[in-house]
Structure 1
Amino acid sequence: MSREHTPVGADGLEALYPFLYAGAGDVDAVLDQVEKSTVDKVHEIVALRARVLAADRERLFACVQDVARAFAGGGRLLAFGNGGSSTDAQDLASLFLSPAGAAKPLPAFGLTNDIAVVTALSNDIGFDVVFARQLAAFGRAGDIAVGLSTSGNSANLLRAFDEAARRGMVTVGIAGYDGGKMAELDSIDHLFVVPSPSVHRIQEAQTTLYHALWELTLGALDDFGVDQP
């Protein structure tokens, strides 16, 4: 179907960019609306980040202590998520494994890095076990499991957290909306929820959270007097 014959809003863009569908023919007016929309989104994410920090400040510090203690004891970080959250999980692992500056690397891995393993587990057993099976194979007591989700309802994350808890791992969950089913789990030691209805703002705030987790963990390891590997 050509663009000319696409029903207004059929591609889902109208809700995101209403000024493109308002029938305005003035380019300057459209650009003004684009600028206003951008500024509004900036204000929205800044306010959301401040809200999350205020709500989770003490929880973040407690999480940092547990994560740093795990690394100090020889633990490794295993991160996982689906879609965009998978990319965030890989980014988090990369922060620890290949940090900028003088910080020494820490053992951290993304569980979606090996596409052969991911597709084999998904095809032969089921997508719900794609992370739990890897944690069963690689995870051990004293390791760290970090799962990211915008909805908090991903079945493969829920099973992964249960598996990680059974193995004595430190478990960290980062979710959006109201936390979803992740908020109901007893197997998550530290749960951070970004309270927003927007997937875009959720992922932006989640990125801030895990960058703070990484940076504060490095500082905590210094405080422990640990020579990072």
Structure 2
Amino acid sequence: MSEREDTNFLYPFIDAEENDAGALLTDLAASARSKAAESARLQRASLDEWGDPITAAGAQMAERFRAGARLYTFGNGGSSTDAATLASLFSRPARGRPVAAWSLAADQAVVTALGNDVGFELIFSRQIIAHAKPADIAIALSTSGNSDDLMTALAEARKRGLLTVGFAGHDGGRMATSDDLDFCFTIRSQSIHRIQESHALVGYQLWSAVQNNLAKPAPGPRETTGGPR
């Protein structure tokens, strides 16, 4: 198989024998426009579906952050970099209030040590055991919603009292039906690229909802009515 044939699967609309540069550029431009349009449509649909739950999750997260909570994010592959980006958005925002957030995939030494010593399916749950407190928050990102290591970590987080949030794709997989999640935001697509693009937007909206709640005055002690009994 030639080098050109090796990469044909990436752009199936390009003929391996294409010699017309103008036609090639036209095809590339059309493909880019189509992907951008689908991404924008999916993002609008996702926010329409999950707008209220995002607001509710943001309010609960803000309440926990006020009490000193820490956010733990995690994912595999490309979702691990999305998890790191999300943790950075919360901990080092360009504006608003920074909060404690950490990506559990960020420390290569810890991840590889756990993978080697106890098994890959435990690389996140063991970190939850070591670091998390009941007031904390766990967010797992998966394009399938079926990753064993994420589900194991979410089960551990739920057992320890953390607020648990999942970002999933397609039909949500195991995340969508698990009792171990307080919230699951499923992106209705089979394209990994489009799912991850919408995950980024949902993550930003969740951060924004948290910031909106943190900007409000902290609720004071509840007032009582009536005189002494």
Q: Scaled by the length of structure 1, what TM-score is found?
A: 0.91
Check if 1:141 corresponds to 2:152: no
The answer as to whether partners of 1:19 and 1:30 remain within 8 angstroms in 2 is no
Return the offset for 1:149.
0.4
Check if 1:57 corresponds to 2:51: yes
Partner of 2:222: none
Percent of aligned positions that are identical: 43
Partner of 1:96: 90
User: 1:95-114 residue pairs with structure 2 within 5 A?
Assistant: 95-101=89-95, 103-114=96-107
Deviates more, 1:217-226 or 1:43-52: 217-226
The answer as to whether partners of 2:97 and 2:211 remain within 8 angstroms in 1 is no
RMSD, aligned CA: 1.5
Alignment partner of 2:215: what SS?
A: helix
For residues 65 and 161 of structure 2, the distance between their equivalents in structure 1, rounded to whole angstroms, comes to 14
Partner of 1:118: 111
Question: Larger Cα Rg: Structure 1 or Structure 2?
Answer: 2
Check if 1:182 corresponds to 2:175: yes
Return the offset for 1:23.
3.6
Aligned pairs, how many? 219
Listed one character per residue, the Cα deviations across residues 29-56 of structure 1 (whole Å, up to 9, x for unaligned) are: 1101111111111110010001101111
For residues 26 and 97 of structure 1, the distance between their equivalents in structure 2, rounded to whole angstroms, comes to 49
Check if 1:166 corresponds to 2:159: yes
For residues 217 and 124 of structure 2, the distance between their equivalents in structure 1, rounded to whole angstroms, comes to 31
Return the offset for 1:113.
1.4
Partner of 2:3: 3
Listed one character per residue, the Cα deviations across residues 172-228 of structure 1 (whole Å, up to 9, x for unaligned) are: 1001111111112100000000010100000000000001111221111112438xx
Alignment partner of 1:193: what SS?
A: strand
Check if 1:209 corresponds to 2:205: no
Partner of 1:83: 77
**Alignment-mate amino acid for residue 47 of structure 2:** L
**Alignment-mate amino acid for residue 112 of structure 1:** A
The answer as to whether partners of 1:152 and 1:181 remain within 8 angstroms in 2 is yes
Return the offset for 1:19.
2.5
Identify which of 35, 42, 58 aligns with 1:41. Answer: 35
Partner of 2:26: 32
In structure 1, runs of 5+ residues without a counterpart are none
The answer as to whether partners of 1:177 and 1:193 remain within 8 angstroms in 2 is yes
**Alignment-mate amino acid for residue 58 of structure 2:** V
Return the offset for 1:96.
1.2
Return the offset for 1:77.
0.2
Partner of 1:19: 13
In structure 2, runs of 5+ residues without a counterpart are 220-229
Return the offset for 1:22.
5.9
Partner of 1:66: 60
For residues 224 and 89 of structure 1, the distance between their equivalents in structure 2, rounded to whole angstroms, comes to 29
The answer as to whether partners of 2:145 and 2:174 remain within 8 angstroms in 1 is yes
Return the offset for 1:104.
2.9
